[in-house]
Amino acid sequence: MEDLNDALRRALGDGAVLTGDDAAPWSQDWTGVYTWTPVCVVRPRSTAEVSAVMKIAYDARVPVVPVSGNTGLAGGTVGEGAIMLSLDRMNKVREIRAEARLAVVEAGGILASLHEAALAQGLVFPLTFGARGSCMVGGFLSTNAGGSNVLRYGNTRDLVLGIEVVMADGQVMNLMSELHKDNSGLNLKHLMIGAEGTLGVITQAVLKLVPKPAATATAMVAVSSLDEALSLLHALQAVTGGAVEAFEYMPQDYLAEYARYAPQSRPVFDTEYAHCIMVEVATTAPRDATPGPDGEVPLVGLLEGVLGDMLERGAVLDAVVAQNESQRAEIWARREVAGTLAVSHKPLVNNDIAVPVDKVSVFLDRMDKRLAELDPGANVLVVSHLGDGNVHYTVWPENTDPACCDAIMEVVEDEVLSLGGSFSAEHGIGLTKRPSMARRKDKVAVAAMKAIKAALDPRGILNPGKVFPD
């Protein structure tokens, strides 16, 4: 591959093409499940340089795997024998337009840096999750990431106005619209978002921003059941006018695992409860954010009022409302370490599923029975974006036979599909869920996807072997 690497160096300049030990940081995924040896790692500085890389790869018929923060959980960046195309040098927040409430960002920008840039203008980019300090724009666009605020603001796809994409042959497709309405033909933007780099390389984007909340109210709540948790959610949505931003389920087993991970942390409650919810509501309205004569923020009073009513009837068993930013951060810390906890044991059967919100408890109850039949010694780590029906269901099997792990995955698929759900909610397909795609995805839909892939990437060089089943 010397001639290929020389061509890439001529196109990108010194220091932009890495091989051998220098490529090691791009030779494994964050979970530690996958390792590989790339041909090289290229680090372009501009869209023009990305285009040059793709033209060279296209002519040489060499696979290209785009990679951003490499914090995925589905093996989407495995690049054996491929050019790893890192966007990490394309990391600028090019523009924050406060009046239009939008940001123009490069694909290698870190999510936390975008948060900071927006906040400096009194605005918020409302996508958030635990990996925000390392994940990049191109990565969360390519997986259509969800996170904890989907309930109010939607998935990544709902937060994007425009994108720029370099195609397989190096052509640049300019979809950098700043419009909220554009009905001029097929929506190619949405086709690229969530495609995991199999159809093109996203190089920059126009993202929606929202006003910074004037007040938040955050609490940990113990409930008698998940059905009562949904009653709490609906009550809060009604009384706040749809201001619930996060509604996260953390059962006792999850909190116990967190306590082992962070032994210095304080327990949430003096009593252990089976079902705990982290809830946060936020407002920009002065009427709900301005403290009254008694110093109480009205939004906090609304939250406490709903919790008090449900405590009286036994639906809520206990509650702790954050009184300051430090206590709020302590509550969020429990939730945001979920990914680290999930991959802390090997092997693992990692499931990221979605069911209708009123079927989450049904899914969990059924899986308790099914898993006991397959592997009675298995342990389960569950955490859920309960407000949108997304459950992260990680199994640490006692029986490490790959056949048993595959059987566990299939049982999860059985129960999810019987409830009208999806075996992939927000982590993407990558390598891990290609078998699920083959078993469960509508065959006509798979054929349509493959036809699109063949049309846009006729030489099959963009992130090959991912997403689409054989």
Within this chain, do residues 360 and 410 fall inside the same structural domain, yes or no? yes
pLDDT at 385: 95
- Within 8 A by CB and 6+ apart from 455, the residues are none
**Nearest partner of 466 among 174, 190, 150, 142, judged by Cα:** 142
Residue 22 near residue 86 (C-beta atoms within 8 A) = no
pLDDT at 19: 93
Domain boundary among 275, 307, 336: 336
Residue 192 near residue 163 (C-beta atoms within 8 A) = yes
Query: What is the distance between the alpha carbons of residues 437 and 275, in angstroms, rounded to a whole number?
Result: 32
pLDDT at 134: 87
In a domain? residue 103: yes
Within this chain, do residues 374 and 284 fall inside the same structural domain, yes or no? no
pLDDT at 2: 65
Query: What is the distance between the alpha carbons of residues 355 and 417, in angstroms, rounded to a whole number?
Result: 8
Domain boundary among 54, 86, 118: 86
**Domain CATH number, residue 396:** 3.30.70.2740
In a domain? residue 277: yes
In a domain? residue 410: yes
pLDDT at 29: 87
Residue 131 near residue 145 (C-beta atoms within 8 A) = no
**Nearest partner of 142 among 182, 178, 190, judged by Cα:** 190
pTM of the model: 0.93
Tell me the pairing of strands 102-106 and 201-208. antiparallel
Give the tokens for residue 25: 């940081």
CB atoms within 10 A of CB 148: 25
Please give the helix or strand (H or E) that residue 237 lies within, else none.
helix 226-240
**Domain CATH number, residue 331:** 3.30.70.2190
Number of domains in the chain: 4
Query: What is the distance between the alpha carbons of residues 437 and 442, in angstroms, rounded to a whole number?
Result: 8
Please give the helix or strand (H or E) that residue 217 lies within, else none.
strand 215-223
3-state SS class at 97? strand
Give the tokens for residue 64: 């290209």
- Within 8 A by CB and 6+ apart from 59, the residues are none
pLDDT at 470: 83
Helix, strand, coil share (%) of the chain residues, nearest 5: 40, 20, 40
Domain with 393, as residue range(s), is: 344-431
Within this chain, do residues 62 and 132 fall inside the same structural domain, yes or no? no
Within this chain, do residues 317 and 379 fall inside the same structural domain, yes or no? no
Encode pLDDT of 82-104 as tens digits: 999 999 999 999 999 999 999 99
**Domain CATH number, residue 16:** 3.30.43.10
In a domain? residue 457: no
Within this chain, do residues 324 and 366 fall inside the same structural domain, yes or no? no
Residues of the chain short of pLDDT 70, as ranges, are: 1-2
Query: What is the distance between the alpha carbons of residues 67 and 12, in angstroms, rounded to a whole number?
Result: 17
In a domain? residue 446: no
Please give the helix or strand (H or E) that residue 339 lies within, else none.
helix 338-342
Please give the helix or strand (H or E) that residue 285 lies within, else none.
none
pLDDT at 115: 97
In a domain? residue 166: yes
Encode pLDDT of 344-379 as tens digits: 888 899 999 999 999 999 999 999 999 999 999 999
pLDDT at 33: 83
pLDDT at 131: 84
Within this chain, do residues 191 and 302 fall inside the same structural domain, yes or no? no
Within this chain, do residues 142 and 124 fall inside the same structural domain, yes or no? yes
